[in-house]
Structure 1
Amino acid sequence: MTLKVLMVTQWFDPEGGSAAQAGVIARSLKRHGAHVEVLTGFPNYPSGQVADGYRIRPYLRETLDGITVHRAPLWPSHDSAATRRMLNYLSWAAGAGVVGALRAPPADAVLVHSTPGTAGLPALALKATRRLPFVVHVQDLWPQTVLASDFLASGRARRLERPLHLMCDTIYRHASAIAVTSPSMAPRVAERGVPSDKIRVAANWADESIFRPVARDEDLAQRLGLTRPFTFMYAGNLGPYQGLDTLLDAAALLRDRTDIGIAVVGGGVREQALRNRARTMGLQAVQFVGPVPFAEMTPVLALGDAHLVSLQDLPLFRMTLPSKLQATLAAGRPLVGAVTGDAALVVRESGAGPVVTPGDAPALAGAIRNLADLSREALADRGRRARAHYVDNFSEDVSSRVLLELLEQAAGTRARAAA
């Protein structure tokens, strides 16, 4: 009997960057035999502008890659203003609650792609109104993510702390199971009173149709202006937590290395500020490529001789495996990890490249120099190690089976209760 899954996620295709992970998971569950439909919002990540071809309306049904998608209205925003960001989160949660009640298809279980944490609210409504069990796949810990963010003043953070804790505790208590994306998240969830046998690790994986090893395309390199002998690349969201000012500072320390180019691929709320700063600093080696459609990333990533995976050194991020890490490993690219905690451990274990302290520009510049001085064969060996580590630890087959098992258990519990 086919398992019917309703995935509840604020972010979904055609949104890119970390927001693309929900689509990766949905398509994987479908490939593994589940019937999947998605309850989501109108695409506006990471720019905060509604994507071309869409306009906000009370409801939209469409089909993407054979998956029926139900879109609920929201207030589009993804800037650094706390009020607008929370309005974005809460407006979608409310809209999805209504659309879910009126339009959601029959399902055996619900999978909550929990980022932001408010994504669990429509699932609570579905459980209350239609008795649908749900599994929460925690992408980032709430309320820690909100309370640690720099867009909340201390007074507002204190006022929000109690209601956010209450929301998260309610969602976790009513969930059939909780999957976390990194090992260090599990004890933090358990601290909230969640039984340990209700928690499983299901790390995110990359879209393996896109993030895979391919040969360098010299024509594309010429078109993008990435023609120096060694290209160090950052490809992803240009947000406040990626610490990309450190990359610019490292580039300034590498002015003597005319063989090294720095490529910045992607968009986000800090894109213009980074462009302006690079221009002011006179960083001729830094090339801003801009956003690239997710489906076209395969050959672009191959132009990076080594890649940067970076997050600011905040306590919360020590429990985070950013989706960019799995994507870079899956693509078989050498990398520098400007990360701490679980992510740093993965980089070290993979053998794909060095780990440096986030925010340490001289250390990052030194790591880039060392990689640029390696032979092509030595770089290729690091790329092979990256790919092998991904296949053994983070592949679709490894983690999707954990999610399917949890969803099947939730559906089985519901069936037994109804019998």
Structure 2
Amino acid sequence: MISQYWHPEQGVVQRRLAWILGDAARAGHHITAVVPPPHYPGGQLMSDDPRNQTGAVDRSTPHFTVYRCRFRPHDASIVSRVQDQAVIMCSQIITASRAIRNARAAGNPVEVIVCTVPALPSAFVAYALSRLHRLPLVVELRDAWPEILEYIDQWNDPQRPTMNPWAKTKRALFHVLLLTGGRALRFVLSRADLLITTTGTLAAEHTRRGHPNVIAVRNRAGSGIPNCNAYPARGFGPLRVFYGGTVGRAQGLTNAIEAVALAKQQGVEVELRITGGGVFVKALERLAHKLAVDVDFTGRIPFEEMVGNYQWADTVLVHLQNWRPMEYTIPSKLFEIMWAEKHVTAAVAGEAAQIVAESQIGDVVPPMDPQALADLWVAIAQDRSRLAVDGRGNAWFRQGSTLEELTDRWVHAIGKVVNAQHQPHSPLSQRTARKAQATFHPVHLLQRISEPLVQPVRRITTAVRKRHSQ
């Protein structure tokens, strides 16, 4: 398993891996994970445990061997995050190769390489390992990567509103590298033996593009989340809206703050509470101050404290940008809110909007339309009976797959890939062998991955030289 996210970090990816791989381990499978020391999301080492330090090998959990590679501390900027991911990528290739050799020497050889995307470099590491060691490759693809990179011009770091010419040049170079990395990711995805997506629409899209082996295994919240409705329901006072999650580029929460201001102009007070961290927190704070609206920024909180916020809220906000790739995304918080039986304000499109509409757990408005969002909150504040959705979340979950069924689907699909690899005349094993022969030599492998970078980097370098010569 190649990932840049792992326990004891708290996040959607970490919880998904803990759930799926935990069940797989209990079923007798052995997982070797190569991951960096815990430093997500703040960018600084967050554990003193010797098992979590660079170079550590942790075998304390049955059926798990966890190798910790190197990392580079980072701040909130795109540039420093990319630098961290580059360090992790290089270290993971070396560490994982050692782990594969150790497993083979111990008589328990690795049979498949699995990676989680994002982070994008995880795919390149996994691809290199699968070809160098002639193993099948499985990519766990969350969200519509690399298509999201097409919107990179909207990824501005709000903490740096003004930049000197060198900073602008450096950012332009990183933008080119990221876009080229997106093209390289398409190359890797097309050669993966199995793609696992978290939404059905994204799986269907990759199947439409011609990939022969794609399945969807949705995220699911644990059923331990309690019913968070309060009785009797509040029939007066400001409308309480809660958002809990990442405050980043893809969430577009400026739209929500503008909607609070528009609702205020219509005579409706909306108390918006935003819990979570991300690169856009400071920008949102400035916008709330500018518009003179009531927004409470609480910062990050432990996962177990989310229940109290759900109980406080009248409605819980699920919000994404109006970028087309977001239509293939289901925010994991949506399932948590549905388990909590809370009314959902969904400013989303695509599969997430379809779930809210089908379950009747809330109301849907177009993403990035502040007037539509404000009008919805005004309507809810004037008719609180719309908040009575108790039982609808549970009813929707009963119609779908259980956590155990989702894990079985994940493990079974990978098992088919491994079994096909052991059958020399199967189409999958022949496909893997051809790819391994074509890309086995490390120099050739590096050339294939770096090839798309050459021309864009040359163009940037030429532009920089011209600027300095003028």
Show CA shifts across 1:205-259 (max 9, x none): 22444x4534669xxxxxxxxx96742110001112211112111222333335x
TM-score, normalised by the number of residues in structure 2: 0.74
* Equivalent position of 1:60 in the other structure: 56
Q: Secondary structure at the match of 1:268?
A: coil
> How many percent of aligned residue pairs carry the same amino acid?
25
| 1:202 correspondence with 2:217 | yes
**Residue type matched to 1:170 in 2?**
V
- Residue 400 of structure 1, aligned match among 404, 407, 413: 407
- Residue 10 of structure 1, aligned match among 4, 10, 14: 4
Structure 2 distance, partners of 1:239, 1:363, is 22
Confirm or deny: 8 A CA contact 1:326 1:394 kept in the other structure: no
Confirm or deny: 8 A CA contact 1:243 1:311 kept in the other structure: yes
- Residue 23 of structure 1, aligned match among 18, 38, 48: 18
| 1:266 correspondence with 2:276 | yes
Structure 1 distance, partners of 2:133, 2:60, is 26
Confirm or deny: 8 A CA contact 1:60 1:70 kept in the other structure: yes
Q: Secondary structure at the match of 1:288?
A: strand
- Residue 416 of structure 2, aligned match among 384, 388, 409: 409
* Equivalent position of 2:248 in the other structure: 239
* Equivalent position of 2:33 in the other structure: 38
Confirm or deny: 8 A CA contact 2:229 2:342 kept in the other structure: no
* Equivalent position of 1:125 in the other structure: 128
**Residue type matched to 1:213 in 2?**
N
- Residue 309 of structure 2, aligned match among 295, 300, 303: 300
Structure 2 distance, partners of 1:63, 1:205, is 28
Displacement of 1:261 in angstroms is 2.4
Structure 2: segments with no counterpart, 5+ residues: 104-108, 157-170, 430-470
Change (3 A) 1:391 1:138: farther
Q: Secondary structure at the match of 1:113?
A: strand
Show CA shifts across 1:300-338 (max 9, x none): 333322111111101111222222222322332210110
Q: Secondary structure at the match of 2:391?
A: helix
Q: Secondary structure at the match of 1:23?
A: helix
TM-score, normalised by the number of residues in structure 1: 0.82
- Residue 168 of structure 1, aligned match among 186, 191, 194: 186
Structure 2 distance, partners of 1:160, 1:243, is 21
Displacement of 1:87 in angstroms is 2.1
Structure 2 distance, partners of 1:216, 1:251, is 24
The structure having more radius of gyration, on CA atoms, is 2
**Residue type matched to 1:257 in 2?**
V
Confirm or deny: 8 A CA contact 1:147 1:157 kept in the other structure: no
* Equivalent position of 2:201 in the other structure: 184
- Residue 72 of structure 1, aligned match among 69, 72, 83: 69
Confirm or deny: 8 A CA contact 2:36 2:54 kept in the other structure: no
* Equivalent position of 1:114 in the other structure: 117
Root-mean-square deviation (Å): 3.3
Q: Secondary structure at the match of 2:363?
A: coil
Structure 2 distance, partners of 1:61, 1:228, is 55
Show CA shifts across 1:389-414 (max 9, x none): 23433642342222111111122123
* Equivalent position of 1:223 in the other structure: none
Change (3 A) 1:363 1:200: same
Change (3 A) 1:301 1:77: farther
Show CA shifts across 1:52-90 (max 9, x none): 537995423347876543222222336343x33332333
Confirm or deny: 8 A CA contact 2:123 2:188 kept in the other structure: no
Structure 2 distance, partners of 1:387, 1:57, is 41
Structure 1: segments with no counterpart, 5+ residues: 1-6, 218-226
Structure 1 distance, partners of 2:302, 2:59, is 19
Structure 1 distance, partners of 2:196, 2:135, is 18
1:131-142 correspondence runs (5 A): 131-142=134-145
Q: Secondary structure at the match of 1:300?
A: helix
* Equivalent position of 2:80 in the other structure: 84
Structure 2 distance, partners of 1:212, 1:178, is 33
* Equivalent position of 1:222 in the other structure: none
- Residue 321 of structure 2, aligned match among 302, 312, 317: 312
Change (3 A) 1:142 1:250: closer
Confirm or deny: 8 A CA contact 1:231 1:262 kept in the other structure: yes
Confirm or deny: 8 A CA contact 2:328 2:350 kept in the other structure: yes
Structure 2 distance, partners of 1:296, 1:143, is 33
1:216-231 correspondence runs (5 A): 230-231=239-240
Structure 2 distance, partners of 1:368, 1:62, is 50
Confirm or deny: 8 A CA contact 1:121 1:171 kept in the other structure: no
Q: Secondary structure at the match of 1:184?
A: helix
Confirm or deny: 8 A CA contact 2:228 2:342 kept in the other structure: no
Displacement of 1:165 in angstroms is 2.3
Structure with the larger helix share: 2
Q: Secondary structure at the match of 1:410?
A: helix
